[in-house]
Amino acid sequence: MAERNAPHVETFGCRLNIWESEVVRDHAGNAGLNNAIIFNTCAVTAEAERQARQAIRRARRDNPDAQIVVTGCAAQIAPDSWSSMAEVDHVIGNHDKLSQAAWMSVAEGCEAIIVSDVMAVREMATHMMDGFHAHTRGFLQIQQGCDHRCTFCIIPYGRGNNRSAGLTQIIDAAQLLVDGGSVEVVLTGVDITSWGSDLPGRPRLGDLVQALLSRVSGLQRLRLSSIDPAEPDARLMAVLGDDDRLMPHLHLSAQHGDDLVLKQMKRRHLARDVIRFCDEARR
C-alpha cells in the first residue's frame, strides 16, 4: 500500500479532507516518514469510522513494518479509541496535522497522541499548494470550522469554530494552483457560506467568488462545495448568472424537507428557504 519513497495517505470523508491530505503528505514527507501510512478520517457517520478501522487493520496486515498514523475528525474527537488499536502507532489531531512540528515529533518517536484543543484555535493554518496528487482539479480551503450547533452534528467538535482565510491569501493560493496546472479550482471548507464573517468588513462569499474570477489569471473553472441555503448571497447569485466559469452546480446542505424535523435539528432554514434559494439560483 505505501509507496517506497513517500508517505501514503488514505482519505475518508469530505472535500476538505482531500485538500488537507495533500498538506499532510507534504509535512510527513518533509519529516522523512517515507514508510508511513496515514489515515485521514471522517466522523460524520459510524460507517465512515468502520471503513477507516477496517482499512487500518488491512494496512497493518499487508505492511507489518509501516508506521501507521491516524488523523482527521474521528481522531480529533476520540483519540484514545484510535490509539488503543494495536495496529496504530500515532494519533494526530485535526489542527495538529497541519503543523510540520507534529510530524517531526512522530518522526522522532515522541508521544503516541498529539491532539490539541481545536476549540481554542482562532486562526487558519496557511498552506500554499501548487497542485494535487493525481488530480487536475485543485481544492482550495477558504475557511475552517463552524459556529453553528445543529442537534445531531458532531463536526464543530472535530473542526472547531469558524475562521476564514484572508482574501489576498486565497487569491494567491488559487493563482498558484492554476499556474501549477489545475484546470478547475474548488472552494472548500466546513461552512463556506460563513466565509468572511470573522474578517474586517465582513465580506461575503459572493465577494470572494467575484474577486477570484476577476483577479486570478488563467482560471478556467471555479466550483463551490456545499452551500447553506440559510445564507442567501445576492452577489453570489449575480455572479452565478453572469460568469460561465463559475460552475452552475450547487450542493445544498438541506438535509430534510419537513419544517418540524428541521427545527428539531436546529437547522437555520425551513423548507421554503430552500425553495426560495433554488429559485434565485436558477434566475
> Is position 44 within any domain?
yes
Domain boundary among 55, 82, 116: 116
pTM for the model stands at 0.84
Question: Per-residue pLDDT for the chain (283 aa), expressed as one digit of tens each?
Answer: 444 578 999 999 888 888 899 999 999 999 999 999 999 999 988 999 999 999 999 999 999 999 999 999 999 999 999 999 999 999 999 999 999 999 999 999 888 999 999 888 887 766 655 555 556 888 899 999 999 999 989 999 999 999 999 999 999 999 999 999 999 999 999 999 999 999 999 999 999 999 999 999 999 999 998 888 888 788 999 998 889 999 988 889 888 999 999 999 999 999 999 999 999 888 7
Q: Are residues 147 and 276 in the same domain?
A: yes
CATH number, position 249: 3.30.750.210
> Is position 129 within any domain?
no
Q: Are residues 96 and 144 in the same domain?
A: no
CB 12 within 8 A of CB 41: yes
> Is position 125 within any domain?
no
CATH number, position 38: 3.40.50.12160
Q: Which residues pair with 222 in a beta bridge?
A: 185, 246
Q: Are residues 235 and 177 in the same domain?
A: yes
How many domains in the chain? Answer: 2
Cα separations in angstroms, 17 against 86, 137, 141, 206 = 25, 14, 10, 24
Question: Containing domain of residue 196, as a range?
Answer: 137-282
Distance CA 83, CA 195 (A): 34
> Is position 272 within any domain?
yes
Distance CA 64, CA 60 (A): 5
Domain boundary among 116, 149, 179: 116
> Is position 181 within any domain?
yes
Q: Which helix (H) or strand (E) element contains residue 37?
A: strand 36-41
> Is position 3 within any domain?
no
